[in-house]
Amino acid sequence: MSIRFVYILIIILFPGILFSQNIRIRELQTFVDIKQGNYSKAVDSLDILISENPDPEFYLAKVEAFYELGNYQKALEYCNELDKIKQFYSSEYKVKIFLSISDSENAKIALEENLRSKYKISLFDLMNNIEFAGIYNLGLDQYILSANFYSQTEKQIYQVERLIQNNKYTQALFVVNEILSRNNNIAQAHYLKSRIAYFEGDLQGALQSINSAIELKKSRSEYLKQRVTLNKEINKYNAALQDINKLTRIDPYEIDSYIIKADLLFKTENFDKAINLTNSILKVLPENPDVLYLSSKSYFKNKDYFEALKAINQSMQIKSNKDFYELRGDIYSATNTYEYAIRDYSMYLDIEPYNGDIYAKKGFARLKLGDKKGACSDWEKGKRYGSYEAIVYLEKYCK
């Protein structure tokens, strides 16, 4: 049997296998543990991962875990190990560690090391991130600004970021345009211009600017995230999906990217793939109500009502909102369990009483239970609140 034939057989018989390989469960769980503050657990997992694969990201994650645990000696040991694999990659954490223990001399050395490397901390982060607050206590802030580590353009970029932080978008736009008038090839300036346009509601302008940024630097994760956000808002889901696929390749250990990807798979009607991906995510985040809701929606669209109901019920044990009630009502309606559908549509209307489409659905469920008078009453309300479907039902059943 040829290898090619075996490969084709796997695709036919086990279509979920290849797709599931796109998400690395063990690694993701470790990075989620760090995100959730489970640092000791993450350290144990990282020991195993590093023994199997000395990935620099695993070493950096271990540095972060020990730093957050306050074990600065261990954190520094792993910084030194990481530097042997990827020089200067740990330099930012070295700065944080030496600032945390008020070691002015080594903090200054680590700063110089970082600021002369390609992993240079942005001036905005250095001056605003609480983890670098020690630079002021140790008097390193003036040294940083006076030693020409940052160019005039970088200092203007910092000014733009501060203005954006303070919602001064007109002033921020003036400065960013000044930067671009001198040099139109500053990717960060285009990115910041995109953010300004986004905050001011100019989605097309924001998209144009982020496209310019990505043309200059194709693999910057924050640029891709910005374009994903924009394309989602203007309903360009396939374009957003292309970028989120790039993001998961650039940073395969960021769980939020996979959640966004699952939502985009749903929006592009790739329901089987959305189900496979949400099932993988739920192995890492088993009690995430939003992922459970997305899983339920995907099962519902695939007409697997049992799994859809199971997922939405599980999510509603954790939290509930109007969208959750609507989905469960839709599932009950699809399975002819109309009395429960009416209950959930009513719960939705308790939260948002002016939704005509929900009145239309509720009226249809009441009709199916033989309550024509109640159905017509709901459809009258639905008509009042702008539901075309309610008008159709009124003309058909209530004359």
pLDDT for res 146: 82
- Write the DSSP symbol of residue 117: S
Q: What is the pLDDT of residue 329?
A: 98
Interior angle at CA 373, CA 371 and CA 327, nearest 5: 55
377 burial via Cβ count (<10 Å: 0-12, 13-18, 19+): middle
* CB within 8 Å of 107: residues ≥ 6 apart: 95, 98, 99, 134, 135, 138, 140
The parts of the chain modelled with pLDDT lower than 70 are 1-22
Contacts of 250 (CB under 8 A, 6+ apart): 219, 221, 224
- At 298, list the tokens: 């995907």
CA distance 151 to 222: 22
DSSP 196-212: HHHHTT-HHHHHHHHHH
25-82, pLDDT tens digit by residue? 999 999 999 999 999 999 999 999 999 999 999 999 999 999 999 999 999 999 999 9
Residue-wise pLDDT for 219-263, tens only, equals 999 999 999 999 999 999 999 999 999 999 999 999 999 999 999
DSSP 23-74: S-HHHHHHHHHHHTT-HHHHHHHHHHHHHH---HHHHHHHHHHHHHHT-HHH
Res 11: pLDDT: 38
278 near 294, Cβ under 8 Å?
yes
Give the Cα separation of 308 and 297 in Å (integer): 7
Question: Is the separation of the CB atoms in 123 and 157 below 8 Å?
Answer: yes
pLDDT of residue 148: 85
Cα radius of gyration rounded to whole Å, the chain: 27
Helix, strand or coil, per DSSP, at residue 76: helix
Answering whether pTM is above 0.75, one says: yes
Q: Nearest Cα to 59, choosing from 253, 255, 259?
A: 253
Q: How many helices (H) and strands (E) does the chain have?
A: 26, 0
Give me the helix-helix angle, 388-397 and 372-384, nearest 10°.
140
If we measure between CA atoms, which residue out of 305, 306, 248, 250 comes closest to residue 277? 248
CB burial of residue 119 (10 Å; 0-12, 13-18, 19+): middle
How many other CB atoms are found less than 10 A from the CB of residue 338?
20
Identity of residue 137? N
Decide if 39 contacts 69 (C-beta within 8 A): yes
**HSE (side-chain half, CA atoms, 13 Å) at 256:** 6
Q: Six-digit token pair at 126?
A: 């250095």
φ/ψ (deg, to 5) at 318: -100, -45
The pLDDT of residue 22 is 61
DSSP state of 121: P
Closest C-alpha to 160, from 199, 200, 194, 192: 192
pLDDT score at 17? 37
Residues 351-358: contacts with CB within 8 Å, 24+ apart? 351/321, 351/322, 351/325, 352/322, 354/385, 355/385, 356/381, 356/382, 356/383, 356/384, 356/385, 356/386, 356/387, 356/390, 357/382, 357/387, 357/389, 357/390, 358/326, 358/382
Q: Which of 120, 123, 198, 111 is nearest to 160 (CA)?
A: 123
